[in-house]
Amino acid sequence: MKYQIKGEPMPVVICQLAENEKVTCESGAMSWMSPNMQMETSGGGLGKMFGRMVSGESAFQNHYVAKQGEGMIAFASKFPGAIRAFEITPSTPIICQKKSFLACSEGVELNVHMQKKLGAGLFGGEGFVMQRISGNGIAFVEIDGSTVEYNLQAGQKLVIDTGYLAVMDATVNLEIQQVKGIKNALFGGEGLFNTVVTGPGRVILQTMPIIGFAGMIASLIKPQS
């Protein structure tokens, strides 16, 4: 599969498929396509359907196959930001924030990823449930705002404010750290907890988490009198 990512800050990934090649996306993700793309909707079993729902995606996925020649299909982002393509192999799965999966080539699997420590789930901002993308192929992931990437060495740590963690390698460990000092926690404006990630592995941050953006817009909307 060949692809191009165009149009930031409202990007779209345009995929060129060979005959009989397949691409999978979440329900409703397709933006436009050539007329020879054939769609089939499936859930893949109750276990996988439930896992996708828990991780913030729809229970069903759409599979598109190019029939009678090469095909084209496009998937657009739902929020200003970036679309990143990841080469997934059995030894290099990735962990993503909820609802970030956009589409993938055949051979890639989307599953639920549960935080091992309860505190990480309750207070980490990324939620108790994240998405695990594994298998073998290409995965396209939506990221809010721009991206900043760090490659952490073994034992190297990074402290992240709530919601800014977008993607990390499965080798990276995630924990929660309470903000020190009562005044800092109550009046510092940064919340009570920070997310702490520890290498080795790649960490990709996003500069405009949609939750924070929505909160800012809500604060500017005055109630009707």
- Flag whether 181 is in a domain: yes
Lowest mean pLDDT of 67-76, 87-96, 214-223, name the range.
214-223
The radius of gyration of the chain's CA atoms, rounded to the nearest angstrom, is 19
- Flag whether 225 is in a domain: no
Handedness of CA 138, 205, 151, 94 (dihedral sign): negative
Q: What average pLDDT does range 13-31 have in this prediction?
A: 94
Beta strands in 43-146 (DSSP E): 61-66, 71-76, 81-88, 94-96, 101-105, 108-114, 129-135, 137-144
Q: Give yes or no for a contact between 9 and 80, defined as CB atoms under 8 angstroms apart.
A: yes
Burial class of residue 15, CB neighbours in 10 A (0-12, 13-18, 19+): buried
Of 112 and 191, the one with more pLDDT: 112
- Flag whether 170 is in a domain: yes
If pLDDT is split at 50, 70 and 90, which confidence band does 163 have? Answer: confident
pTM: 0.82
pLDDT of residue 116: 59
Helix (H) or strand (E) holding 15: strand 12-17
Q: What average pLDDT does range 17-43 have in this prediction?
A: 93
- Flag whether 117 is in a domain: yes
If pLDDT is split at 50, 70 and 90, which confidence band does 58 have? Answer: low
Q: What average pLDDT does range 49-65 have in this prediction?
A: 67
- Flag whether 198 is in a domain: yes
pLDDT over threshold 80, residue 16: yes
pLDDT over threshold 60, residue 212: yes
Q: Which residues contact 74 (CB under 8 A, 6 or more apart)?
A: 12, 13, 14, 15, 30, 31, 32, 33
Of 100 and 119, the one with more pLDDT: 100
- Flag whether 68 is in a domain: yes
If pLDDT is split at 50, 70 and 90, which confidence band does 189 have? Answer: very low
Domain range holding 51? Answer: 2-219
- Flag whether 96 is in a domain: yes
If pLDDT is split at 50, 70 and 90, which confidence band does 203 have? Answer: very high
Mean of per-residue pLDDT scores for the chain? 84
pLDDT of residue 115: 66
Q: Give yes or no for a contact between 209 and 144, defined as CB atoms under 8 angstroms apart.
A: yes
Q: What is the CATH number of the domain that holds 19?
A: 3.60.160.10
- Flag whether 224 is in a domain: no
Helix (H) or strand (E) holding 30: strand 30-33
pLDDT over threshold 60, residue 159: yes
Separation CA 81–CA 89 (nearest Å): 25
Q: What average pLDDT does range 151-157 have in this prediction?
A: 98
Domain tally for the chain?
1
pLDDT digits (tens, 9 = 90+) for 136-152: 999 999 999 999 999 99
